[in-house]
Amino acid sequence: MLLSASALRQIGTLIVATSAIQLANGFFGTFISLRVVLENFGPAMTGLVLSSYFAGFTLAALCCGRVIERVGHIRAYAAFAGGAAAATAAMPLIIEPVAWLVLRAIIGFGCAGVFVTTESWLNAKAAPAERGRVFASYMLGTFIALAAGQLLIGIVDIESAAPFNAIVVLFAAALVIVSTARAEPPRLRAVAKLPYGQLPRAAPVAVAGCALSGLITGTFYALVPAWMQGEDIERGTIALFMLIAVLGGLAFQVPVGQLSDRLDRLGMLAVLSVGFTCSAIALVLLPHTLAVVLPVAALLGGFMSTLYPVCVADAHDRMPGDRVVAVSGQLILISGLGSVAGPLIGTTLMARFGIDGVLYFMAASMLILGIVAGAGRMILTSPRRLERPFEILPPQPTPLAHDPSGA
């Protein structure tokens, strides 16, 4: 069923604008991984530059809600998008590792602010009867944009300033669309607070899963394109590999979501973790031909993109309903910290053991999570479901499902 004309007026322009930013973000994530290798910053600084995006992203999860509450949704969106655009424009002007570290952190902060603003806006303005379709439209735009962003890798000169300029254009276009939108922004509501120690006690497996999910996705998106370029793989092939990984994440969302809602979530988490482990090992051991690598990329993307949503759903099952926003904020923070650590650990491993060491590291991490989830399924009592189903989330290093009023 299509959305009503009223719903389209309220959220249509917002979804279009944020899809433009997701297009820029999907391209930027892969592009910067390739560009820092060309700049020869060294393994340590490369890891820091790639991790700084996630550091800024995580910081935004803590404080951007207060910015939105103080200045409102439209001005906050413009400020976050404008800051990210300015930092992007400065990168080709100051090609130096410390400067790029700071600028990437600013970009991460701005992107997270945009996404938090968007999701809280959609959640507040969508009618209850249309909320599912509204967020399905938002996620559809997100996945299409992220996938299209990967295709840009094969058609741009990554050694020039042109990619930075293209990203700035997309950020600016989104800023103009939202700044001129006639839809009335929502008002924020006060929500219940959540002490930091309460969530790990109530949902230890979900918390561990969010941390490891961030670790794995941060490592994958930051380092796999860089390694492929180091192996002299054509950029068109790199773009195709990353595209297939994103599309795999899209294909897995609905079936995994349905199984997660019907069956035991910790059991599903164990299956996903073991599936990722087997796929990562297969990528090391099997022949590196397109006929083999691309299906494995789809499996990696599928398992990786569904880990975090299952963990989020399990955590909400085990927490009171009035803590929904606070739980989402803490899980974003935990996943963000994992995403910061992932590229730092991965670059160290890749410098010593090559990409095989990174893949074995990701496989071992997921195997540990699978064992923990399996043990938790036997030890922890099954939670009473609190009408918090699995949610489709974007396939990006740090997933987003956060209302800023809980920041």
- Please give the distance of CA 306 from its chain centroid, rounded to a whole number: 11
Nearest-10 crossing angle of helices 324-379, 204-230 = 100
Please give the tally of structural domains in the chain: 2
The domain of 23 spans: 5-179
pLDDT tens figures, 340-398: 899 999 989 998 888 899 999 999 999 999 999 998 888 876 665 544 555 555 445 44
Same structural domain, 160 and 217: no
Same structural domain, 24 and 127: yes
Token pair of 135, please?
């967020």
Same structural domain, 258 and 371: yes
**The residue count for the chain:** 407
Name the nearest CA neighbour of 273 among 161, 396, 375, 178.
Answer: 375
Average pLDDT over residues 55-63: 85
pLDDT tens figures, 20-45: 999 999 899 999 999 998 998 888 89
Q: What is the pLDDT of residue 53?
A: 93
pLDDT tens figures, 85-141: 999 999 999 999 999 999 999 999 999 888 888 877 776 666 656 655 666 677 778
What is the residue-averaged pLDDT of the chain? 83
Q: Would 30 be classed as within a structural domain?
A: yes
Burial 175-210 (b: 16+ CB within 10 A, else e): bebbeebebebbebeebeebeeebbeebbbbbbbbb
Same structural domain, 227 and 366: yes
Name the phi and psi angles at 104, rounded to 5. -65, -35
Q: What is the CATH number of the domain that holds 128?
A: 1.20.1250.20
Dihedral (CA of 165, 239, 102, 72) sign: positive
Same structural domain, 163 and 14: yes
Same structural domain, 224 and 162: no
pLDDT tens figures, 282-331: 998 988 888 989 999 999 999 998 898 888 888 878 877 666 667 777 88
